[in-house]
Structure 1
Amino acid sequence: MRFTKMHGLGNDFLVIDGRELANIDYGAMAVKECARHTGVGADGILVVENSDAADIRMRIINSDGSEAEMCGNGIRCFAKYVYEQGIVKKTQMSVETLAGVMRPELLVKDGVAEQVRVDMGKPFLECGEIPVEGEGRCIDRPISVLDKELRFTSVLVGVPHTMVFVDDLGAIDISALGNAIEHAPVFPRRTNVNFVHVIDENTVEMRTWERGCGRTLCCGTGASSTAVACVLNGKTGRSVDVRIALGTLHIDWAEDDHVYMTGPAAVVCTGEF
């Protein structure tokens, strides 16, 4: 089976054209091939499938074999792949996901998609929508994990995300705290976790622990959720640069209430397993 390895600012994926495939256990494949030391190595698998609801369908399989509703870095890689492979011959396309139909727009130069802007849709802010135990909006609430008293804000942008604002990203154990928060009882479907340091009203820095993947270098839905949480907590404006380990994602929470994410995607290699 042929694959293309891609990444969005370090969040890497194996992209597979599954339109002509049948009876494939993508969960087992992800566990095997995403392993860093014994497989190809990736945070997940993106599967291209035909769609009756959009131009194309994207499935996201995490490295632990679970299936995710949406992935912000993944959809940028996916859109670049289907465009450059000639599967969808549009710079503005519709992509069916478990979180709904997403609409990426490719910024193309000489036939190569250099940047992708994605309408991530409207964020869901109520506890029951995310979901988080409790009522109303989940803004600046207390949580106790690993003998630490923290405060968190949760939103849903494709998938559930929980933001914890910190003064120093280097002073916290992201893996230990991220894992503990992900599995905290207050999150019935678990949660992705983003630790956020606010630099100024236009810029923040983020580190992510992803549900089903662990620590990742970048998370597009996480950056989108972080921007929303910053606005809800009065920490930034609605247009924010989110810095991660390998670069920056630009996020706009527009007046139409939609969140727009802009960032790069790149091909690493192609191969066969």
Structure 2
Amino acid sequence: MEVRVGAPTGQHLSQVTPSQWHSGAKAGSLPSPAPRHTWKRPTCMPLQPLGICAVLEDCLDQLAILGYIMPVSYEGRTDISNVGASIFKILLFSFLANHLFSRAAKQSAVSSDNLRKVQADRQHASDVIAETLQEMQTSGTFQSLLQAVQREEERKFLHFAFSFREEEGRKEIKSLQKRLQDVKKEKELELQNRNEMIAYLKDQLQEMKAKTDMESRYVKKDTELQVYQTQKKCSNAESDLFNEIEVSTWGPARVNPGSGIRQYFP
């Protein structure tokens, strides 16, 4: 029997997508939980419980065997004294293979966690089937199965709600990270432009200093040259004036070759 709870018509619960949980859910918002159904007490025909009980018992046996041969069941065991001789002979090869797999699974946290999750799901299914089987045998109903389906639906919705919030949180984090990267790039570009401007101003300052030093040296040398030329002109003019005064006063002067003394003759 397949039960559909809170799902669109014609779809099983496992086939319902997150967007179909509630028809009134808007995009980008958390959908509302599916309305709780009031279950009517289901009943079976007189011969149906026998077949259903047989199927449920077979499911329990298969789940028990599956739980026993799963590699996670062997973790932590030091011997196989609790295994019957007949079962040991039948499952010897499977035991050895699973034991090797169990040793490899111990070295991998991911594999071990997955196996534990499968084991927990198997145990949950086994408990639900056992409870349903007991109810079927006593009263011929399967109300507990419907309640388990309802609880599973609510659990899946809560899981979806958490996943939805987590996804929204991831999107918000990515958006903030992108904004942070954009601001960081903008500040880096601004800092780079400022550094380039500082370097340009430093170059301009160095050029101005070099130009000022060159002009200062040029002005200094030009001033010294002008002073020297002026002094030379003054010295020559003074010498010429002194000679004119001597000639006008004493007459032309002659230098005695023997003594080098200047002699004036009126």
Query: Normalized against structure 2, the TM-score is what?
Result: 0.23
* Larger helix share, 1 or 2: 2
- State TM-score, norm by structure 1: 0.22
Say which structure, 1 or 2, has more relative contact order (CA 8 Å, 6+ apart). Answer: 1
Higher-Rg structure is: 2
* Structure (1 or 2) with the greater strand fraction: 1
